[in-house]
Structure 1
Amino acid sequence: MMSTTFSAADSALGYLYQVRVALLWSLRRAKQGGEFIVSLETLDDVTFESKGGTPKELLQAKHHRSREASLSNASADLWKSLRVWFEGYANGQIPAGTTLYLLTTGAAPKDSAAALLRSRSRDVAKALPILESVAQSSESHANAPAYAAFLAASGTARRTILDNVVVLDRASDVLTINDDLKNEVFWTAEQKHLDAFLQRLEGWWLRRVIKQLSANPEHAGILSGEIEAEMCELREQFKQDNLPIDEDVVAFTLDEETHAAHADYRFVHQLKLIDAGKKRVAAAIRDFYRAYEQRSRWVREDLLLVGDLTRYEGKLVEEWELVFEAAKDEIEATAAEAAKRKAARAVLAWAEQATIAIRPGVTEPFVVRGSFHMLADEAPPRVGWHPDFHDRLAEILNPSSTTPPEDAEGGDAR
């Protein structure tokens, strides 16, 4: 799709920037200690409140992608922010003493009002008359409502409000803010795993922000305790004896398309060989998909090495073999097919309940169950359920090269 002057890309980046900035600032405040509530799109782009609900800090986030935006004395970014704050004070929504931040990727020119409102080399007394002069003389129609709100305040009120305004220009953009975020979480995981850690933290944060924005009847703020709890949970998952389990993988439910796509897999044929019920087969496909997806992510992100998987699968095969051979010992080689399938379903039931962890802290059952089905799907399969699973699979997958034995129960081997 060709971009146009009406492209929504800049707006979309602006909203994403706002979400990432909110996370960055929340992490910094959490590190300082003390409880707070953070919300987006309430009193301001980002609002920080005390535990009691009193606004303490309001943040306007301005993102520019294609040009070096100038925070000049008549810039729209500056005056839109001032309008929000002056109107908020006028209607009583913003209490006195609330700190007002304007964070922008743009730059404040030397000696401009915005430059004089930075945290360093600050001179509010010099910035005030500059803004008053612009509001009284500018002919900008776009800024007119902001000028009106500014001039409606008394001289004393203007000075009081500006005393609380802090301009933070030349801020990191939506991409480079990633480095700032990594700096805040650098102590949570090994250096090589920080990207994977941050990806999961931001995924949780985005879901939480969506929940906050969609809450009815009012936006429910995000508690600092929630952020600390999620950080603690992720830290545990990234320890050497653990691995992260992704929420979207756990939440995956089998759909018809995925079910159909796996219908001819070896592990599914193995289940049909022993008359596993439809729901049991569906659960196996679900766990196979979950385990395959989660294990693939671990390998891609260097959280798990191929050698680790090889050792784990070796352990699974070794444990399975003990149970499988024990089940075979309990039935005669000439046993009826029904008896063989019953014994096979018992082996499968053991695999479904097994607690053989890939690492001590990984307790999600689908990892074990799905890994067994992955081994049952290899060519040739490394595990199986039916006592004669190698031969029976060959009959199913290569029917032209074998002559199936007559089924003892009068049915086929499937």
Structure 2
Amino acid sequence: MTTFSAADSALGYLYQVRVALLWSLRRARAGAEFIVSLETLDDVTFDAFQASGPKADELLQTKHHRKSEASLSDASGDLWKSLRVWFEGHANNTIPSGTALYLLTTGAAPRDGAAWFLRSDGARDVEKALQKLETVTQTSDSQSNAPAYQAFSAVSGAARRAILDNVVVLDRAPGILAIDDELREQVHFSAATKHLDAFLQRLEGWWLRRVIKQLSAVPQPAGILSDEIEAEMTELREQFKQDNLPIDDDLLQFTLDDETHAAHEGYQFVHQLKLIEATKKRVAAAIRDFYRAFEQRSRWLREDLLLVGDLSRYERKLVEEWELVFEGAKNEIEATAAEAAKRKAARSILAWAEKATIPIRPGVTEPFVVRGSFHMLADEKPPRIGWHPDFHDRLAEILNPSGSVPPTDASGGEAE
């Protein structure tokens, strides 16, 4: 396969996935209950719920072309590949009679061609389309289309007409990038206008993972329930309310790897933990939470879901709460206390921080945001918080003047 054809194939699959989401959102908004599946009876299959169980009521073939001038001529491979699937499906009874059959393509149907007469507008004329397709089967010498011609010709004229009555060609469809506008329209009231892109990014991320799960499961499940789509939409809407913020699945599922662990070994917040003899597992958990919180906060800022002023106010609140606990712990030990006693007190302060519930917004209850933010404050230069009663002096002793710890900016990230 050439690089060009490989790219076309990849874009075609991604287009199919995005179109399936778009059509699913439209059906969900209309209040329909359905099951959607990819690569089963067709590229995209919609099953409606009936008394006898789910039944396919819409099949969708998607054809994406990087060149917008691609033509859906009477002998077009795109057209006949779709017709072959549908005619063979009717012949072997895998496609129920009366099922709506859609061919959605970024290409154009030439005026007065078979595909033109199968469109849904006023030019639709199934009889003319049938005549043109029958002519093609008799005059075309295309070897690639031969199996499709055979499937088409194997049924009676009346059966051909009955199947074509259910075929609708949707040409000049928006390409894989242009489809963004239509997706935004479907989720328009789900989040503030300036946050729609962030909302869609998360919805599409979930959708892609869900499609992969459906395609890779053995045996393959029936499909994706409309209830699942509604549930994910509801969850995302809640996360995009003013009293909440979205927590990304990839960060929730992040597990600390050796590379990330090693990359943070020299950070100041790690030195603070080693200073109080925190266990290796505790240090690893801190690095994990630091990474998660830094990444999540960075995304919120990039997507304008959170303002720098909001973050500053939150950090002031964290520092104030820490200060009360820190000073309280210092009051309980003598200035001349042994180092072991100081470290024990420090670990109790860390334990408080690990369990603290101080949300950045009322709806944000994910613990790593709080824990990781504390470690980011402990990593600032100079540190805004610490665990050891004498953390300022002790850090100065163990860190050389040239700064063996990577310098960080005010939000806890490495300076550029």
TM-score, normalised relative to structure 2: 0.94
Q: What corresponds to 2:120 in structure 1?
A: 119
CA deviation after TM superposition for structure 1 residue 218, in Å: 2.6
Greater CA drift, 370-379 or 131-140: 131-140
Structural mapping, 1:156-167, within 5 Å: 156-167=158-169
Deviation at 1:53, TM superposition (A): 2.2
Letter of the 1:180 counterpart: E
Query: Shift in Å at residue 142 of structure 1?
Result: 1.1
Q: Does 1:38 align with 2:36?
A: yes
Ranges in structure 1 where 5+ consecutive residues have no aligned partner: 402-414
Q: For 1:146 and 1:131, locate their aligned partners in 2 and report how far apart those are by CA, in whole Å.
A: 11
Which residue among 307, 311, 315 is the counterpart of 1:313?
315
Q: How far apart are the structure 2 equivalents of 1:380 and 1:354?
A: 23
Q: In the alignment, is the contact (CA less than 8 A) between 1:58 and 1:100 conserved in 2?
A: yes
Residues 256-302 of structure 1 deviation map (CA, whole Å, 9 limit, x = unaligned) = 11111111111001011111111000000000000000000000000
Q: Distance in 2 between matches of 1:358 and 1:284?
A: 19
Query: CA separation in 2, counterparts of 1:295 and 1:67?
Result: 40
Q: Which residue of 1 aligns with 2:14?
A: 16
Q: Provide TM-score, normalisation by structure 1.
A: 0.95
Are residues 229 and 153 of structure 1, via their aligned partners in 2, closer, same or farther at CA, if it must alter by over 3 Å? Answer: same
Instruction: State the Cα distance separating 1:67 from its structure 2 match.
Output: 4.5
Q: CA deviation at 1:399?
A: 7.4
Instruction: Indicate the residue corresponding to 1:73 in structure 2.
Output: 74
Alignment of 1:87 onto 2:88: yes
After TM superposition, the structure 1 = structure 2 runs for residues 72-221 of structure 1, keeping only pairs within 5 Å, are: 72-121=73-122, 122-221=124-223
The residue aligned with 1:240 is 242
**Paired AA for residue 37 in structure 1:** I
Q: Which amino acid aligns with 1:84?
A: V
Q: Give the letter aligned to residue 120 of structure 2.
A: S
Kept after mapping to 1: 8 A contact 2:16/2:62: yes
Aligned CA distance change for structure 1 residues 54 and 190 (closer, same or farther; 3 Å): same
Q: Which runs of 5+ in 2 are unaligned?
A: 404-416
1:281/1:171 CA distance change after superposition, 3 Å = same
Partner residue, 2:27: 29
Structure 2 match to 1:298 = 300
Question: Helix, strand or coil: the match of 2:235?
Answer: helix
How far apart are the structure 2 equivalents of 1:7 and 1:73? 23
- Would the aligned equivalents of 1:42 and 1:219 in 2 still touch at CA under 8 Å? no
Change (3 A) 1:311 1:6: closer
Other structure's SS at 2:334 match: coil
Looking at structure 1, the residues matched to 97 and 64 of structure 2 have their Cα atoms a distance apart, in angstroms, of: 27
Alignment check: 8 A CA contact 1:30 1:224 kept: yes
C-alpha displacement of 1:308 = 0.5
Q: Give SS of 1:101's match.
A: strand
Matches of 1:199 and 1:98 in 2, distance apart? 32
Hey, what's the Cα distance between the residues in 2 that align with 1:329 and 1:86?
83
SS in 2 for 1:86: helix
Identity score, percent: 79
The residue type paired with residue 259 of structure 2 is: E
Q: Please report how far the alpha carbon of residue 398 of structure 1 lies from its aligned counterpart in structure 2 after TM superposition.
A: 2.3
2:386 paired residue among 362, 384, 407: 384
Read off the aligned partner of 1:106 and give its amino acid letter: G
- Alignment correspondent of 1:50: 48
Aligned 8 A contact 1:59 1:103 in 2: yes
* 1:313-349 deviations in Å (ceiling 9; x for gaps): 0000000000000100111111100111111111111
Letter in 1 for 2:33: E
Residues 270 and 384 of structure 1 are in contact (CA less than 8 Å); yes or no, is this contact kept in structure 2?
yes
Match of 1:336 among 324, 335, 338: 338
Q: What residue is the counterpart of 1:62 in the other structure?
A: 63
Q: Which amino acid aligns with 1:303?
A: L
1:266 corresponding residue in structure 2: 268
The alpha carbon displacement at 1:120 in A equals 1.0
Secondary structure at the residue paired with 2:115?
helix
Q: 218, 227, 243: which is aligned to 1:225?
A: 227
Tell me which amino acid in the other structure corresponds to 1:98. Answer: T
Q: CA deviation at 1:208?
A: 0.2
Q: State the one-letter code of the partner of 1:54.
A: K
3-state SS of 1:73 partner = coil
The reply to whether residue 280 of structure 1 matches residue 282 of structure 2 is yes
Secondary structure of the corresponding residue to residue 327 of structure 1: helix
What is the SS of the residue equivalent to 1:53? strand
Q: Kindly provide the amino acid, as one letter, of the partner of residue 145 in structure 2.
A: N
Partner Cα separation in structure 2 for residue 4 and residue 103 of structure 1 = 25
Separation in 1, partners of 2:32, 2:103: 23
**Are the counterparts in 2 of residues 274 and 345 from structure 1 also a CA contact under 8 Å?**
yes
Looking at structure 1, the residues matched to 343 and 156 of structure 2 have their Cα atoms a distance apart, in angstroms, of 88
Distance 2:183 2:138 in 1: 41
Deviation of the 1:50 alpha carbon: 1.6
Measure the CA separation in 1 of the matches of 2:45 and 2:150. Answer: 24
CA distance in 2, matches of 1:205, 1:312: 33
Question: SS at the partner of 2:54?
Answer: coil
Aligned residue in 2 for 1:410: none
CA distance 1:317–1:137, change in 2 (3 Å): same
Match of 2:347? 345
Q: Distance in 2 between matches of 1:117 and 1:219?
A: 33
Partner Cα distance (1:282, 1:182) in 2: 40
1:364 maps to a residue whose letter is: E
* Offset from partner CA, 1:387-411 (integer Å, 9 cap, x none): 000000000002799xxxxxxxxxx
Q: Work out whether residues 35 and 222 of structure 2, in 8 Å CA contact, stay in contact via their aligned partners in 1.
A: no
- Kindly provide the CA deviation profile for residues 40-78 of structure 1, in whole angstroms up to 9, marking residues without a partner as x: 000000000023221100000000003511111111111
Do the aligned partners of residues 102 and 146 (structure 1) sit closer, same or farther apart at CA in structure 2, a change above 3 Å counting?
A: same
Secondary structure of the structure 2 residue equivalent to 1:275 = coil
Q: Answer whether contact 2:191 2:237 (CA < 8 A) is retained.
A: yes
